[in-house]
A and B are shown apart, each in its own frame.
Chain A
Amino acid sequence: MNGPFLLTLIWIIPFVVALACLLVPHDNHRLMKLFSLVGNLINLGLVILLTLKFINVAGIAPAGSDSSASIFHFAYKTPWFKIMNIEYNIGVDAISVLMMLLTAIVIFCGILASWEVKQQAKEFFILLNVLVAGVYGVFVSIDLFVLFMFYEIAVLPMYLLIGLWGTGRKEYAAMKLVLMLVAGSAFILAGILGLYFESGISTFDLALLSQVRFSDSFQYWAFPVIFLGFGVLGAIFPFHTWSPDGHASAPTAVSMLHAGVLMKLGGYGCLRVGMYLLPEGAQVWMGFFLVLVTINVLYGAFGALRQTDLKYITAYSSVSHCGLVLFGFTAMTFTGLKGGVLQMISHGLMTALFFCLIGMIYGRTHTRTVSEMGGLMKVMPFLSVAFVIVGFAGLGLPSLSGFVAEANIFVGSFANTAAINRVCTVLAVLSIVVTAVYVLRAVNALVNGPIAPKFSLLTDATALEKVPVSILLFCLFGMGIMPGWIIELVNGAIKPIFNNLSR
């Protein structure tokens, strides 16, 4: 199977699954779940295949070794809309491959975790698969138009997914989430059109645009526009408020996918479109964004400190951790960029597992207020231990993925000798203490302590539920203990971006 075909197949399969679900009778939930599961299992297989192929190819011809060569592998393009020279232009570099791998894992686990959906299962799985297709699409596309298109496809299903199957103030949360993200994409749109017209070559092709030296005056306004636009999805302060409400209201699988993968689209876009194409603008604006994301990191952590709802705690921790992604980027150093990318992956796995576990625990206790729980270790050791581990991953414990990423971010950020970078790095490092505080508060309140009598008859995870948890745990440990190959891959992908930044 050749590369481009594989790439196309990967984003098409979820669409096909969605269509297949469309044809399934309304009450046959089992079949729909089976379709989704099998479809995404196949996709997981394909993505793994892609990863292996990629490692193979990247090993032979390291990307970016020669500046004229495209940094994308398995590239393929064919004209789509002649009207604005829009092309169906796909290809991947290491970052996208890894993000696709993350997506495949998270969605597979997510579908397993949403096995219990009963209400309007058909619409649920259709929307979920459309969402997934959008996410894959963003990662495979090199054409900015196509990328933007998939980006929006990935955002919109959230409205119904939260609004229909969510809990709490779901309609408000769903509306806020979608509107804020779409408002962000308004900026992206302007930025993309600017890139198209200002480049002088009238193309949306990222690879070609990256060779263009945009005028400074253009970069000065376009960079913040694009960075903020994508940053909204990366929960950049002060545009993060969709995140706590949205994540808290969303159903399990959606929280998993959204916090795990979708929020990464923001960081991905910032890096791929913002920093890669507009390096001079990045140089000028980075100080400003550095301050913003430092606020993010600290603010998310302190915000999580006083929350009582598990999902809110996790959501604020996501704000803090996603802040670290952008923090790595704003360091503007090789290691920092790499750390940001690693943090995307790490946080994706971690937060997916977090929400997965919260969903399972909530399904049993029917409360998410930490103070009402306690001693769950007694009745659900598996879930509790997993929760403790993911908590540790959150506070950056070595041997779990979080450390690998955070170490890179901090080292990278420290390597930037500007005084403001140094100060922000110190502040960000100190945030890990706050992280420890809120994580341990949650963990202790949840799994430790005496058990409430009403919970004493609850059961541990079923075999089916153990599967996603185990997979994600495995990945957390895998990345934490053997980060070598991932780092190797990311190194290759970061190099051209970094070269652009330091030109």
Chain B
Amino acid sequence: MTLSHFIILSLMLCAIGVYGVLTRRNLIGILLSVEVILNGANLNFAAFAHFRAFDPTAGAVFPIFVMAVSACEMAVALAIVISMYRRKKRLDVYRLEELNG
């Protein structure tokens, strides 16, 4: 298990997340995919903290902050999505089409 394994894993997570973001029709699904990307980044931090950093605490603390922040973000996102659901009665991303041009 070397650093590169972890980096590849995190990049794969990122790629999976991106794939999800681009293909999921459901807004919640897209949000979940975003979370996957964020966690990929977290994994990266941890891996770097373990393998390379002379300041490993930072690498350990950062993911915690990220989790907190992303939790906030998700909370807001869910609120918005719910309000969206109220307007459109669907969570289909295709329904977001009124604004264009």
A and B touch in the complex (CB under 8 A): no
Q: Give residues in A with beta carbon < 8 Å to B.
A: none
Q: Give residues in B with beta carbon < 8 Å to A.
A: none
